[in-house]
Amino acid sequence: MSDYTINPMTSHETGAEIIGLDLCRHVSDEVKKKINADFAKYHVLVFRGQKLTPPQFAAAGEIFGPLMQHHHKEVRIGHPDVYEVKQTEIEPGKYRIAGGSFHTDHSNHPCPPKATALHTVSLPSYGGDTQFVNMHDAYDDLPEATKQRIAGLKALHVFESKFSPRKLRPLSEDSAKELPPPTLHPLVRTHPENGRKFLYLNPVRIEAITGMEEKDALALVAELMAHATQKKYEYRHKWIMGDMVIWDDRSVMHQANADYDMKELRHLYRIMVEDNPKHWIAEGEKTLAHAAA
How far apart are CB 151 and ligand SIN at their closest, in Å?
A: 29
Return the residues of window 74-93 that contact ligand SIN according to CB under 6 A: 85
**Which of 130/183 has CB closer to ligand SIN?**
130
CB contact at 8 A, 136 and 191? yes
Q: Which of 54, 99, 152, 186 binds ligand SIN (CB under 6 A)?
A: 99
| Among candidate residues 210, 213, 194, 201, the one with its CA nearest the CA of residue 253 | 201
| By the rule CB under 6 A, 50 interacts with ligand SIN | no
Position of minimal CB gap to ligand SIN: 99
**Which of 85/252 has CB closer to ligand SIN?**
85
The Cα–Cα gap between 285 and 37 comes to 27
Q: Which of 52, 98, 206, 252 binds ligand SIN (CB under 6 A)?
A: 98
Q: Binders of ligand SIN: how many residues, by CB under 6 A? A: 7
CB contact at 8 A, 104 and 231? no
How far apart are CB 105 and ligand SIN at their closest, in Å?
A: 6
**Which of 250/254 has CB closer to ligand SIN?**
254
Cβ atoms within 10 Å of 6's Cβ, excluding its own: 19
**Radius of gyration, CA atoms only, the chain:** 19
How far apart are CB 98 and ligand SIN at their closest, in Å?
A: 5
The Cα–Cα gap between 182 and 207 comes to 9
**Which of 48/254 has CB closer to ligand SIN?**
254
| By the rule CB under 6 A, 130 interacts with ligand SIN | yes
**Which of 34/79 has CB closer to ligand SIN?**
79
Return the residues of window 244-283 that contact ligand SIN according to CB under 6 A: 254, 256, 268
| Among candidate residues 218, 184, 217, the one with its CA nearest the CA of residue 287 | 184
How far apart are CB 129 and ligand SIN at their closest, in Å?
A: 8
**Which of 78/127 has CB closer to ligand SIN?**
127
| Among candidate residues 198, 177, 207, the one with its CA nearest the CA of residue 251 | 198
How far apart are CB 68 and ligand SIN at their closest, in Å?
A: 13
The Cα–Cα gap between 111 and 279 comes to 9
Binding region for ligand SIN (CB under 6 A): 85, 98-99, 130, 254, 256, 268
